Amino acid sequence: MSAQDLVLIEGLEVRTVIGIYDWEREIRQTVRLDMEMAWDISRAAASDKIEHTLDYKSVSKRMISFVEESSFGLIEALAEHCANIIMHEFNVPWVRLKMSKPGAVRGSENVAVLIERGTRS
């Protein structure tokens, strides 16, 4: 794999139950996912066939489904689970995932965690 190749999904917004306070457990809030996934795109570039690439629509749909159905206290835990799904279900060797919770802190536009998992060749 070329160390340069990445597939990106940016600004994927999903509503879920997230937070540690009682009032947060009773509502759905928006979280935003930004993902960078190591993937050798050379085969897909040569063949122009979807089966030779990382299908970002499938990754997005899986993340939406998982996050909508989840109920975590911390974005750290949600981010870790999402990264594990991406790596194990889609055979992605390395992922950088930013999990954001817009408006979580008064006066700030956003709070987020940024994690990297796996090995980027």
Structure tokens at 58: 């499938």
The answer to whether 101 is a known catalytic residue is yes
- What count of other Cβ atoms lies within 10 Å of the Cβ of residue 27? 10
Output the CA torsion sign for 111, 18, 75, 65. negative
Exactly one of 49, 57, 98, 101 is catalytic; name it.
101
CB 105 within 8 A of CB 111: yes
Q: Report, as residue numbers or ranges, the catalytic residues.
A: 101
